[in-house]
């Protein structure tokens, strides 16, 4: 076999491999953005994103009575003893995922990010305070009932996608 033939076979193999990778990436992209035109996922993602965005703005910008980035980082790292990288990741996920949910952009990934933040909040802060929120100011802190509702919404969005009026819907066509 001549050198040209060996190189040509090598090149054809590389092209087939790249084509297979491209096909697999396309399938992964479709699994990430596929959704229906149903209204219920849109209602869930807009509600969850709309509730989480002000919480993120408290942490990042100090809006709505929040402490802003510096104070939040101090609380995460000093009081909760989170590593700095994890504290930054939590803040970024909450901000970016909230906006992504509102837009319906990569809804499944955004919902999963919010879900991880909610699980982290339950296990680091709220579980020890019991189930109920501190409606009457008689508990040491807030319980985890809100987080349970948010986690149910997260699960529904992971299963159903972004729904009607989402960027995911446009990308999945």
Determine the pLDDT at residue 92.
Answer: 97
The neighbour count for residue 7, using CB atoms within 10 Å, is 10
Give the C-alpha separation, 67 to 8, whole Å.
Answer: 62
Residue 136 lies in a domain: yes
Q: Which residue range forms the structural domain that includes residue 133?
A: 34-172
Residue 112 lies in a domain: yes
Task: Please tell me the total count of domains within the chain.
Answer: 1
Residue 17 lies in a domain: no
Residue 2 lies in a domain: no
pTM for this predicted structure = 0.81
Provide long-range contacts, Cβ within 8 A and 24+ apart, for 146-153: 147/118, 147/119, 147/121, 147/122, 150/48, 150/51, 150/52, 150/114, 150/115, 150/118, 151/115, 151/118, 151/119, 153/44, 153/47, 153/48, 153/111
Question: Which is it for the CA torsion 57, 63, 66, 72, positive or negative?
Answer: positive
- What single DSSP character describes residue 129? G
Residue 10 lies in a domain: no
At a CB cut-off of 8 Å and minimum separation 6, what does 111 contact? 45, 48, 97, 101, 153, 154, 157, 158
Give the C-alpha separation, 116 to 12, whole Å.
Answer: 43
Helices (H), the chain: 3-33, 39-61, 68-74, 84-103, 107-121, 145-160, 167-172
* Residue-by-residue pLDDT tens, the chain, 173 positions: 566 666 666 656 666 666 666 677 667 656 767 888 899 999 999 999 999 999 999 999 999 999 999 999 999 999 999 999 999 999 999 999 999 999 999 999 999 999 999 999 999 999 999 999 888 888 889 989 999 999 999 999 999 999 999 999 988 87
Residue 155 lies in a domain: yes
Give the C-alpha separation, 170 to 173, whole Å.
Answer: 6
Residue 15 lies in a domain: no
Angle, alpha carbons 88-91-93 (nearest 5°): 105
Residue 50 lies in a domain: yes
Determine the angle formed by the axes of helices 39-61 and 145-160, rounding to 10 degrees: 130
Determine the pLDDT at residue 15.
Answer: 62
């Amino acid at each position: 076999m001549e050198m040209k033939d060996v190189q040509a076979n090598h090149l054809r193999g590389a092209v087939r491999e790249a084509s297979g990778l491209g096909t697999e990436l396309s399938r992964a992209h479709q699994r990430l953005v596929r959704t229906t035109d149903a209204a219920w996922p849109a209602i869930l993602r807009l509600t969850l994103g709309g509730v989480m965005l002000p919480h993120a703005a408290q942490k990042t910008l100090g809006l709505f009575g929040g402490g802003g980035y510096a104070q939040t980082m101090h609380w995460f790292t000093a009081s909760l003893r989170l590593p700095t990288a994890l504290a930054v990741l939590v803040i970024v996920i909450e901000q970016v995922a909230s906006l992504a949910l509102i837009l319906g952009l990569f809804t499944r990934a955004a919902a999963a990010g919010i879900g991880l933040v909610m699980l982290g909040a339950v296990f680091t802060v709220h579980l020890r305070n019991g189930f109920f929120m501190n409606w009457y100011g008689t508990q040491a802190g807030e319980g985890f009932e809100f987080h349970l509702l948010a986690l149910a919404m997260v699960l529904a969005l992971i299963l159903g996608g972004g729904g009607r009026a989402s960027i995911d819907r446009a990308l999945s066509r």
